Amino acid sequence: MLYIISTPIGNLEDITLRALRVLREVDFILCEDTRVTKKLLAKYEIKTPTVSYHQHSAAPKVEKIIELLKQGKNLALVTDAGTPGIADPGNELIHKITETRLASPARFAGASARRAGGLIASLRIIPIPGPSAVAAALSIAGVPTSEFLFLGFLPHKKGRQTLVKKIVASERTAVVYESCHRIVKFLQELIDNLPLRQAGGGANLDIVVCRELTKMFESVYRGTPAEVLAEIQKDKNNLKGEFVIVIGK
């Protein structure tokens, strides 16, 4: 089994009973940052060994993980916060494992190798759902959510302006993640592109900016991009942390 486990995005109490049980039962936990995951494990007195896996992990680390699965080990994949694979390198690992899973046991020479191939072929990838920053933000936004455009973290340079224009012009609610270093830049980009929207007969944008969701200093700002930008800039502390921006239509 490979379990894909959602973990808290801030408040360590936001984890399911099922997730805690599986984290105790698996042979290894694959972590984006073992130091972060061990804080969660320590709170719930979970002693399962951890293995590092993140966006900079090279091919040998992936091969090591696949080898553990070939040995019949049960693994859990977690990210630092939220759901693995959502704006997260975990989806790359899952893709490589599913590619390997397609290999027929007949391709492996020798009894032990055929058994290893069979274990990979019979591998089950099981989601253990839970916290997700995009879902948490949408749940309190009060905007249409029957369909939405999720863009994760926007690129720093190449293609950024094209995506901002797409967000402003979109007829769907859009959601993006942004860091404290670029939140002001992003809000200003929305403001700068509003004339194009209004020239086409569109109204001003209503946005909801969620900062540090589920954490001690959780804050939610609502209004037009200009109103939210002015509110955030009133206090330098408002520019700290992680942001989820919901752009309503």
How far apart CA 124 and CA 105 sit, in angstroms, is 16
Same fold yes or no, 2-128 and 133-248: no
pLDDT attached to residue 103? 55
Average of pLDDT values for 53-66? 80
Q: List the chain domain ranges.
A: 2-128, 133-248
Least confident of 86-100, 155-169, 222-236: 86-100
pLDDT band with cut points at 50, 70 and 90 for residue 120: low
The count of C-alpha atoms lying within 13 angstroms of the C-alpha of 67, restricted to the half-sphere facing its C-beta, is 6
Query: Once rounded to an integer, what is the mean pLDDT over residues 233-239?
Result: 93
pLDDT confidence bin for 93, thresholds 50/70/90: confident
Q: Does domain 2-128 have CATH number 3.40.1010.10?
A: yes
Q: Which tens digit of pLDDT belongs to each residue from 123-169?
A: 899 999 999 999 999 999 999 999 999 999 999 989 999 999 999 98
Query: What is the structure's pLDDT at 109?
Result: 45
| Amino acid present at 211 | R
What superfamily does domain 133-248 belong to in CATH?
Answer: Tetrapyrrole methylase, C-terminal domain (3.30.950.10)
- Ordered strands of the 173-179 beta sheet: 148-153, 173-179, 242-248, 206-211, 219-223
Q: What does the alpha-carbon distance between residue 128 and residue 3 come to, in Å, rounded to a whole number?
A: 7
What confidence tier does 107 reach under pLDDT thresholds 50, 70, 90? Answer: very low
Between 241 and 120, residue with greater pLDDT = 241
List, for residues 184-201, the tens digit of each pLDDT value: 999 999 999 998 777 766
Give pLDDT tens digits for 45-59: 999 999 998 776 667
Starting at the earlier edge strand, list the strands of the sheet with 2-5.
50-52, 28-31, 75-77, 2-5, 125-128
Q: Which amino acid is at 34?
A: T
| pLDDT number for residue 114 | 45
pLDDT of 99: 81
Query: pTM of this prediction?
Result: 0.86
For the chain, give the mean pLDDT: 89
**Residues 57, 60: Cα–Cα separation, whole Å:** 8
